[in-house]
Amino acid sequence: MTDTTVLELVSPSALLKSEPVEMVVVPGTDGNFGVLPKHAPMISTIRPGVIDIYAGGKVSERIFVAGGVAEVNPERCTILAEEAVPVADIKADEAQARLETAEADLKAATTAHDKANAERALEIARAQIAALSN
């Protein structure tokens, strides 16, 4: 039996996942990091990207998150994500539509606040498309 760490993926509306995994790779703001059992405690913010869950040395599941925070301690890895969908469920045309809306919003944005929001949406859409292409 290999060592496992508990992965908890929580979105505002539900506890999406709470199960032992061998390793999980999280897209941190300062770069991806892998979490293995007995990882040193840390808290990191997450950029839009894909969480890779490993089982038996291979990627078993890929989940797209639109940013959030992760808390890691030796027993568990808790990810608070604003939006999380399995990569397999992302539709290419929807992601493309989202990208276009975000681009249009960015052009139309007048205040700094709107602009920041649109930029964030754009980043999420780009990450989603990138997630699909590999």
Q: If binding is defined by CB under 8 A, does position 37 make contact with another protein?
A: no
Q: By CB under 8 A, name the one of 4, 32, 78, 96 that touches another protein.
A: 78
CB of 104 vs another protein, minimal distance in Å = 18
Nearer to another protein among residue 28 and residue 103 (C-beta): 28
| Chain center to CA of 3 | 24
Please identify, among the stretches 3-11, 87-95, 102-110, 124-132, the one whose residues bind another protein according to the rule CB under 8 A. 3-11
Which residue is listed with tokens 């999280």? Answer: 26
Asked if residues 59 and 28 have their Cβ atoms less than 8 Å apart, the reply is no
The number of CA neighbours under 13 Å toward the Cβ of 119 is 7
Asked if residues 70 and 26 have their Cβ atoms less than 8 Å apart, the reply is yes
Nearer to another protein among residue 10 and residue 132 (C-beta): 10
CB of 39 vs another protein, minimal distance in Å = 10
